[in-house]
Amino acid sequence: VGDGVEYNRLLLRIQKEKITNATIFPRVSAAQARAIQKKADILLVHLERTALTKMGIPQKIQAYMASGKPILAAVEGEGAQLVKEAGCGLTCYPSDSVLLAETILQAEALPVSVKNEMGRCGHDYYTKRMGYDVGIEKIDHLICDVLRH
């Protein structure tokens, strides 16, 4: 869902190759995106394999954790480490279509109870360590520390 940087290229490929098992939906509002995510069994985050994508935690991972849905993260570095640490999903290396397909099949085979637990773990981890209130508290502590010194 959306019109990311690959939208036009993917749309042309689907049309040119007459791919019938893929659909690209136009951009939707945040509320519509959340409604779509609620219907999903697992949410995918895939980043191209680059030095830059190894260093940070994609905002999409944080948003998916907050949603309470399990995550399939085809990412490296900090993002993959976060998913593993939180126990909120499965990870695989990005840009490897065979490994991604295997990981999707692995996720599909998981019992619903396991997927629900992954989602709960992600939500709990996000709420306790990354949420808005946690961020405000950290900023408050930093400001107080600076003012004391």
- Could you report the per-residue pLDDT of 127-147, keeping only the tens digit for each? 998 877 777 877 877 888 888
Indicate yes or no: pTM above 0.75: yes
φ, ψ for residue 44, nearest 5 deg: -100, 130
Query: Which pLDDT value is given to residue 110?
Result: 97
Which of 4-18, 61-75, 97-111 has the least mean pLDDT? 4-18
> Rounded to an integer, what distance in angstroms lies between the CA atom of residue 92 and that of residue 86?
15
Residue 71 pairs with which residues in a beta bridge? 43, 89
**Which structure tokens are listed for 50?**
């680059």
In whole angstroms, what is the distance from residue 143 CA to residue 131 CA? 19
Burial class of residue 79, CB neighbours in 10 A (0-12, 13-18, 19+): buried
pLDDT at 1: 65
Could you read off the pLDDT of 81-110 as tens digits, one per residue? 999 999 999 999 998 999 999 999 999 999
Q: Write the burial class of residue 38 (CB in 10 Å: 0-12 exposed, 13-18 middle, 19+ buried).
A: exposed
CB 56 within 8 Å of CB 84: no
Q: Find the length of the chain.
A: 149
Whether 20 shows a pLDDT value over 80: the answer reads yes
pLDDT bracket for residue 3 (50, 70, 90)? low
